[in-house]
């Protein structure tokens, strides 16, 4: 690769940003265009909804209605932007922490939380929703996204696959294999790394010596970018451009969002054992929801009555979450054998028959 070509792949020297922490304009976005106002308001609405969903899901773990819940509080700009930059034909490949992205995509809360409740591996139909099952093993969804993107490309489909990835997953071999494969075949894929500073209890500086995770794409010949992950305007602009780049057949894109996980890794984790309270409070000041609200109000694009309506709608949504999770699930033990193989093997059929006989006994 020539030097000129390599330079075109480099991310911005500092994260792309449109809005500062205090909600004022920040001109650190290069040639990126600001998203239309209607999209920013929709992002704000969904971020309000997503934060209320996150609080409600966390509460449900304390009531025993959820087995576990990995909060994405503080990462709402990334979650919502991932959903809004895709169209209905595109595919989203989420991790276990991306429930808010699924809600923003339009999935029902009961379906989204099926995995975290422990009822089934997935509570929705991936083929219908174009959302892959939430992935618990680190980075395996990156391979799935690369493979499906290549398959859609070969079939001539006008669609993009977007994989949500945590910073810890970039240390896994699957992440690198996915980037290499997608870059070689110019698959229409976007790899979106939410760098929330911690892989469970391991801080970023103990995970990678790279100046930024965005630079990891360069070695594979992949266009890369880094963005302020708490600036919803910037994330929408950068992700929208990345999806457009991939859709036009110009190859995959790696985007790193610099954000922060406000709550513990999950409700089973005690984050006070490995990080200071002052660090968390510093990041609370960069709250993506408050930042976008202040920015839109300053432009007179968001009124107080609209804010109150969005909050009221979020409360109604939270009630629907409680109703869905308070209802006892109707589980069919025989469904264990569904979707294991396209054509069941003799061994699987024998196991099915054995379980069926035990249930009938």
User: Which are the catalytic amino acids?
Assistant: 261, 265, 274
Write out the chain in H/E/C secondary structure. CCHHHHHHHCCCCCCEEEECCCCCEEEECCCCCCCCHHHHHHHHHHHHHHHHHHHHHHHHHHCCCCCCCCCCCCCHHHHHHHHHCCCCCCEEECECCCHHHHHHHCCCHHHHCHHHHCCCCCCCCHHHHCECCCECCCCHHHHHHHHHHHHHHHCCCCCCEEEEEEHHHHHCHHHHHHHHHHHHCCCCEEEEEEECCEECCEEHHHCCCCCCHHHHHHHHCCEEEEEECCCHHHHHHHHHHHHHHHHCCCCCEEEEEECCCCCCCCCCCCHHHCCCHHHHHHHHCCCHHHHHHHHHHHCCCCCHHHHHHHHHHHHHHHHHHHHHHHCCCCCCHHHHHCCCCCCCCHHHHHHHHHHHHHHHC
Token look-up 């513990």 returns: 264
Alpha carbon distance 269, 180 (integer Å): 34
Cα–Cα dist 346/343, whole Å: 10
């Amino acid at each position: 690769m020539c030097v000129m070509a390599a330079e075109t792949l480099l991310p911005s020297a500092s994260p792309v940003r449109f809005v500062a922490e205090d909600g004022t304009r920040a001109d650190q976005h290069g040639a990126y265009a600001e998203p239309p106002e209607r999209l920013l308001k929709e992002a704000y609405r969904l971020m309000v909804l997503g934060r209320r969903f996150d609080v409600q899901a966390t509460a449900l773990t304390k009531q025993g209605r959820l087995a576990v819940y990995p909060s994405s509080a503080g990462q709402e700009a990334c979650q919502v932007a991932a959903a809004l930059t895709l169209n209905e034909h595109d595919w989203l490949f989420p991790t276990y922490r991306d429930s808010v992205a699924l809600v923003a995509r339009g999935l029902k809360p009961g379906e989204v939380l099926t995995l975290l409740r422990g009822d089934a591996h997935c509570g929705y139909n991936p083929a219908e929703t174009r959302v892959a099952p939430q992935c618990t093993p680190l980075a395996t969804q990156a391979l799935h996204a690369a493979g499906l993107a290549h398959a859609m490309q070969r079939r001539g489909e006008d669609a993009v696959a977007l994989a949500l990835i945590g910073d810890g997953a970039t240390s896994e071999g699957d992440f690198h294999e996915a980037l290499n494969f997608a870059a070689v075949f110019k698959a229409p894929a976007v790899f979106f790394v939410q760098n929330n500073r911690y892989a469970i209890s391991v801080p970023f500086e103990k995970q990678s010596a790279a100046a930024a995770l965005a630079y990891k794409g360069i070695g594979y010949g992949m266009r890369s970018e880094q963005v302020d992950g708490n600036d919803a305007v910037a994330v929408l602009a950068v992700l929208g451009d990345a999806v457009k780049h991939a859709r036009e057949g110009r190859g995959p894109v790696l985007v790193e969002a610099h954000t922060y996980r406000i709550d513990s890794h999950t409700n089973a984790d005690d984050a006070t054992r490995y990080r200071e309270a002052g660090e968390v409070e510093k990041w609370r000041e960069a709250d993506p929801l408050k930042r976008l609200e202040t920015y839109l109000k300053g432009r007179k694009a968001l009124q107080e009555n609209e804010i109150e309506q969005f909050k009221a709608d979020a409360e109604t949504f939270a009630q629907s979450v409680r109703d869905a999770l308070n209802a006892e699930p109707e589980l069919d033990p025989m469904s264990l054998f569904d979707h294991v193989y396209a054509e069941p093997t003799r061994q699987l059929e024998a196991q099915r028959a054995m379980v069926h006989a035990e249930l009938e006994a």
